[in-house]
Every structure is written in structure tokens, then in C-alpha cells.
Amino acid sequence: MKILGISGSLRKDSLNTAALRAAQQLVPAGSTLEIFSLAEIPIYNEDIRDKGYPAPVQKLRDAIKAADAVVIACPEYNYSFTGVLKNAIDWASRPPEQPFDGKKIALMGASPGMLGTARAQYQLRQVFIFMNGKILNRPEVFIAAADKKFDDKGNLTDEKTREVIGKMLTALVNS
């Protein structure tokens, strides 16, 4: 299975991108996880879309379409998911062939706080209902106190978190 990883943070030392890198090591045998950076995606503007999708947006849409499943790791900003991610979803949501339609999707998130992006993830689930994504219900992956679960090189060192990410990926592949 080909899995596409999308991080909702552009930060070089992002804990969420680091969680995706950990997921790359934890995918079940026979599956791969490639990370797509949202750094080049412009701010959504319907006037631009009317002239055709900008190349980085087309690349994102194609990558989602080509993947068997998508894993999103997103920070929680002000009790929601990030504008960076919402902007990318908005670009992906437009016709033709909305690429999240029927796509297997799993969510995870890392925060130094105690709720591990739970509030953001529930809002993201709501958005994917409209996109008709096939969202994995469980296991949920809330990486709380995340600043203590990665080393200074961004390696995920917390065994329980590695375990739950591995279980989530297995459930996604088998869903």
C-alpha cells in the first residue's frame, strides 16, 4: 500500500513532521509512506483556480489521488487544525475528481500540551465527512507532552507512542 503523509506544520523542527518520519519506520511490511510538503502551496484564491491549478497544487492533488491512503499529522492551533492544512484541503476539495473522495485517511497529532491535538483532530474529522474521506476511527493517536517524546534530532523515543502509531498504520492498511 502506498501511503501519503501530510504535515500541517511547515516548521523545520516540527514535532508533527517528526511524527510522520517515525511513521515511515513503522509502516507494515509491504507498505511505504512518502511525505508531501505543503511549503509551496499558495494561499487559496478562486481567481487563480479559474486559470488552472498552480503546479504545486496539481502535484498535491495528483499525490493524494495516486496514494492508497493518507496519514495527516497536524498541530493544534487555537483549538483547531492549522491554516496551512485547511488551505491545502481547500485546494484539494475543488473539482474535478476531488481526490479525498473515498480515500482512506488516518489522523495523528503532536502537541506539548496535555490533549495531543484532540480538539483539532475532531474538527478535521468533521471536514473529511464533507470530503467523503474514509476516516479511520481507531486507534486515535494523540501525542501529548510531545516535547518530551522526541529527542533533539526529532527521533520519536517514546515506546508507547511508537506502538500506537504502528497499530494505527496496521489498522489503516487493513481497513
Ligand X SMILES: Cc1cc2nc3c(=O)[nH]c(=O)nc-3n(C[C@H](O)[C@H](O)[C@H](O)COP(=O)(O)O)c2cc1C
Q: Per rule CB under 6 A, is residue 121 in the interface with ligand X?
A: no
Burial bucket for residue 112 (CB in 10 Å: 0-12, 13-18, 19+) = middle
Query: Using CB under 6 A, which of 11, 32, 126, 163 touches ligand X?
Result: 11
Q: Per rule CB under 6 A, is residue 122 in the interface with ligand X?
A: no
Q: Per rule CB under 6 A, is residue 78 in the interface with ligand X?
A: yes
Number of residues this chain uses to bind ligand X (CB under 6 A): 13
Burial bucket for residue 123 (CB in 10 Å: 0-12, 13-18, 19+) = middle
Closer to ligand X at the Cβ: 108 or 136?
A: 108
**Cis bond before residue 75 (omega within 30° of 0):** no
Q: Per rule CB under 6 A, is residue 15 in the interface with ligand X?
A: yes
Closer to ligand X at the Cβ: 79 or 130?
A: 79
Query: Using CB under 6 A, which of 75, 84, 142, 165 touches ligand X?
Result: 75
Report helix, strand or coil for 82: coil
Shortest reach from residue 126's CB to ligand X, in Å: 17
For the window 146-165, what string marks contact with ligand X as x by the rule CB under 6 A?
A: --------------------
Inter-residue long-range contacts of 83-86, CB under 8 Å, 24+ positions, other chains counted: 84/8, 84/9, 84/10, 84/38, 84/41, 85/6, 85/8, 85/38, 85/124, 86/127
Using CB under 6 A as the criterion, which residues of the chain lie in contact with ligand X when the complex forms? 9, 11, 14-16, 75-79, 111-113
